[in-house]
Amino acid sequence: MSEAPNSNDVEKALRRRSRAVAVLAVVLMSLQGAVLAATEHVTLNGGRLVDKVQVGAFVFLALALMLNVLTGGRRSRKYPAMNDELVRANRARASKLGYVVTMLALIGVYVAMLLVPLDVYKYIPLLVTFGIVVPALYFSVLERKGEKGG
């Protein structure tokens, strides 16, 4: 039988998750330049392998970060305290902010399309990044506030 985790283990895991989410969000943002350049060269039947790998890495990291923020990852099963009411409320607030930011960005691209000709596919990675990074960073901030008791 496994013994119940002590509060120190849970607090360490919460801090680790908060830091990891923030770091992954920054990494995803830092990939923007490479992904935007690679997007121009990648097609279904053509393009360099390195460009396809960069786009694939971006998609994988974006999905991993999104799932981590939405579900809490596998540590939430090990430590039920990492998925308590406050954490779920923080996730809901972060998701709501991500939705609003994504919709505002989409509206901005739509209005810009009406004014000047745009290749919309070039802006999709940027919109994905806004929709994932903003809630991830906000969730990280809310979690850190919760750690400090604020």
Please report, for the chain, the start and end positions of each structural domain, with discontinuous segments joined by +.
Answer: 7-148
Task: Give tens-digit pLDDT for 19-77.
Answer: 888 898 999 888 888 888 887 777 667 778 888 888 888 899 999 988 888 887 666 66
Query: Average of pLDDT values for 67-96?
Result: 80
- Residues contacting residue 47 through CB under 8 Å, at least 6 positions apart: 38, 41
Mean pLDDT of the chain: 83
Q: Specify the pTM.
A: 0.80
pLDDT bucket at 115, cuts 50 / 70 / 90: very high
* Stretch among 34-43, 102-111, 121-130, 132-141 having the lowest mean pLDDT: 34-43
For residue 99, what pLDDT is reported? Answer: 93
Q: Closest by alpha carbon to 108, among 118, 98, 96?
A: 118
For residue 149, what pLDDT is reported? Answer: 66
Q: Give the count of alpha carbons within 13 A of 15, CB side only.
A: 8
Structure tokens at 84: 């308590």
Q: Closest by alpha carbon to 12, among 64, 79, 74, 68?
A: 79
- Residues contacting residue 140 through CB under 8 Å, at least 6 positions apart: 18, 19, 21, 22, 25
As a whole number of angstroms, the distance between CA 74 and CA 71 comes to 8
For residue 70, what pLDDT is reported? Answer: 84
For residue 104, what pLDDT is reported? Answer: 94
Q: What percent of the chain has pLDDT over 90?
A: 25
